[in-house]
Amino acid sequence: MTFAPTKPPLRVVLCAPRGFCAGVVRAIDVVERALEIYGAPVYVRHEIVHNRTVVDALKAKGVIFIEELSEAPPGPHPVIFSAHGVAKTVLEEAKTRNLFTVDATCPLVTKVHREAQAHFKRGRRIILIGHARHPEVIGTIGQLPPGAVTLVSTIEDVERLAPAGGEIAYVTQTTLSVDDTREIVAALERRFPTIHAPPVGDICYATTNRQQAVKAAARGVEAVIVVGAANSSNSLRLREVAEREGCAAQLVADVRAIDWGALEGVRSVALSAGASAPEVLVERIIEALGERFAIAIETLRTASESEAFPLPRALREAV
């Protein structure tokens, strides 16, 4: 008689909170509600959120994703701006072409835009802490005239800044590493002791909460799996947080991308997901872990979330 080999045990720690945040839920709801009201096609400039599963599901419903407004024809079908926000030049182009637009920018990103605009009106030099070429950074810089915002990504960037010739202020991208940003802010405050800080931190609650959960979990496991896209800033930061705690970590788009070799001999793993990753991707990874290991699942919760953002007025009025 032959016996099936015994599965090795694996403790699976589910990080909570994880996955969709209120801004992502709102952005997806904007697109789906627009489809209900106006019918297909609905155009979305840039990925509505950085997740291929979400994008593909919306494509199947009749959404057309574009990178430039020139790809969208004028007419009754809306053009939706993604959760990351857009520069004012994009809004002006849409108005010039008489496009029907709906803005799905996350309200927390809009908050940063307004902070930068307020500093500019007060004549302050503005420093933006963020990552070059990220859509949110492009959108924030694009709220003001060229040269009004200086981007820094590292402490070295701060050291290279010219001396202040007047009042100075900083704002930040919403999806940064809490720890890295704290160090950059400290460097700014050393160089410019009177620098104006945001009245409330710009890094969004969801980014902070997910990083705290991964940090706590990483201290008690041998490996961390983060579900998220390679171009998702908040997902990349989750992997970095785990690695900062000395834990092996991998960022995977879905179950097919898992490096199973890296889990050989591992007896404990934490599982989290970036703010734009749907929970179904986490569930599929748990199933795959269960096929290979005798898993014992537990949840590590470091915060509770109840935030919700209303739909844009254009859609509320249409309903």
Tens of pLDDT, residues 273-299: 999 999 999 999 999 999 999 999 999
In a domain, 16, yes or no: yes
What does the pLDDT look like over 153-202, one tens digit per residue? 999 999 999 987 899 999 999 999 999 999 999 999 999 999 999 988 88
Q: Are residues 250 and 227 in the same domain?
A: yes
Q: Are residues 27 and 42 in the same domain?
A: yes
Q: Please say if the pLDDT value at position 318 is more than 80.
A: no
What 3-state class would DSSP assign to 150? Answer: strand
CA distance 206 to 15: 13
In a domain, 94, yes or no: yes
The pLDDT value given to residue 201: 80
The pLDDT value given to residue 4: 56
In a domain, 4, yes or no: no
Q: Are residues 276 and 289 in the same domain?
A: yes
Q: Are residues 233 and 258 in the same domain?
A: yes
Average pLDDT over residues 93-118: 96
Percent of the chain at pLDDT exceeding 90: 92
In a domain, 60, yes or no: yes
What does the pLDDT look like over 220-234, one tens digit per residue? 999 999 999 999 999
Kindly give, in sequence order, each residue whose CB lies less than 8 Å from that of residue 238, ignoring residues fewer than 6 positions away: 210, 211, 214, 226, 228, 251, 272, 274
Q: Are residues 127 and 83 in the same domain?
A: no
Kindly give, in sequence order, each residue whose CB lies less than 8 Å from that of residue 290, ignoring residues fewer than 6 positions away: none
Average pLDDT, the chain: 95
Q: Are residues 209 and 297 in the same domain?
A: yes
Count of structural domains within the chain: 3
- Count other C-beta atoms under 10 Å from residue 152's C-beta: 21
What's the CATH number where 262 sits? 3.40.1010.20
Percent of the chain at pLDDT exceeding 70: 98
Q: Are residues 82 and 26 in the same domain?
A: yes
Q: Are residues 122 and 174 in the same domain?
A: yes
| 96 pLDDT tier (thresholds 50, 70, 90) | very high
In a domain, 58, yes or no: yes
Q: Are residues 215 and 294 in the same domain?
A: yes
Q: Are residues 92 and 166 in the same domain?
A: no
Q: Please say if the pLDDT value at position 3 is more than 80.
A: no
Catalytically annotated residues: 136
In a domain, 122, yes or no: yes
Which domain does 71 fall in, by range? 22-106+308-318
Find the Cα–Cα–Cα–Cα dihedral 297, 303, 306, 309, rounded to 10°: -110
How is residue 97 annotated by DSSP? T
In a domain, 116, yes or no: yes
Cis peptide before 41 (omega within 30 of 0): yes
Q: Are residues 248 and 312 in the same domain?
A: no
Q: Please say if the pLDDT value at position 2 is more than 60.
A: no
Q: Are residues 42 and 100 in the same domain?
A: yes
CB 87 within 8 A of CB 138: yes
The Cα-based distances of 114 to 90, 117, 118 in angstroms read 17, 5, 6
Among positive and negative, which fits the CA dihedral 173, 209, 286, 224? positive
In a domain, 158, yes or no: yes
Q: 191, 221, 237: which is the final residue of a domain?
A: 191
The pLDDT value given to residue 147: 95
> pTM (2 decimals)?
0.92
